[in-house]
Amino acid sequence: MTATEPASPRRLLTGLAAYVVWAAITLFSMAWLRPGTHSLLDSIRHEVGLNFVLAILFLFILARLNRWSDLAFVRPESARSLRVLWFPALYLAFFGAIAAFSGVPLPARQILFVLANVALVGLSEEFMFRGVLFRALRSRLRTWPAILFTSVLFGGIHVFNVFITGELLSAAVQAVAATLSGFVFMALLLRTGSLWVPIVYHALFDLGTFLAGANSVAHAQDPEPAALVKVVVPLLMVLPNFLYAIYLLRKIPNEPPRRS
């Protein structure tokens, strides 16, 4: 392929098709395995999510069949590159402080299920979005449009949580919060060169938010907060991380599509 030839749309089409199949496996198999509406915390604290395992297996087979070697399942570029984690780590310290002072409101058995599931979610979602989808978009788009579309599609998939929780407002808020968080995971990938960094941070961040959410419910006198609180608090929680991500991404060049 010469420099003037347009890149084949095959990888982009494959990546978008993978997004649809992955979403179906992740969301609708969960609804099938656990019919009815329930909280997200309740859905991951009683058993290991088979839907997450199937989604990861699907992506692994897809990547091997297509011989995608650029998904960044490698070590970070250098120990120095990990310095960017100082601010995201403050979130983890905050969640740890909540657990230390308020206690963990779940039995040990349920905590193990939560740990296993957030690890699977972190691997599955980062594999799909910052791995498969981002690289597919980069085959046809410049860097920044690819970052934006990846983050928006990552957030958008969370709207479908309404089929699990039955709460449209909560699902919409989760979608916006996930879009903002998507920029953080993207920044960690691009600044460290390793997909493992956002995978691990994603899992730990989810663990912290789930345990903090369980703690707030366990200690709340009114278990049903006002709608305004349900909207504002989650967005305020992720806003500093989003602003830090924009700071990290400020010098990322808007390079032309990568030929593949």
Say what the pLDDT of residue 2 is. Answer: 42
> What pLDDT, in 10s, does the model give residues 121-169?
999 999 999 999 999 999 999 999 999 999 999 999 999 887 767 788 8
For 222-258, the pLDDT digits (tens) are: 556 666 677 888 899 999 999 999 999 998 999 999 7
pLDDT at res. 226:
61
Higher pLDDT, 214 or 131: 131
Residue tagged 């198999």 (tokens): 29
pLDDT digits (tens, 9 = 90+) for 100-116: 888 777 777 888 888 99
The average confidence (pLDDT) of the chain is 87
Are the C-beta atoms of 193 and 74 separated by less than 8 Å?
A: yes
- Distance (Å, whole) CA 12 – CA 168: 30
In whole angstroms, what is the distance from residue 21 CA to residue 17 CA?
6
State pTM to two decimals: 0.90
| pLDDT greater than 90 at residue 10 | yes
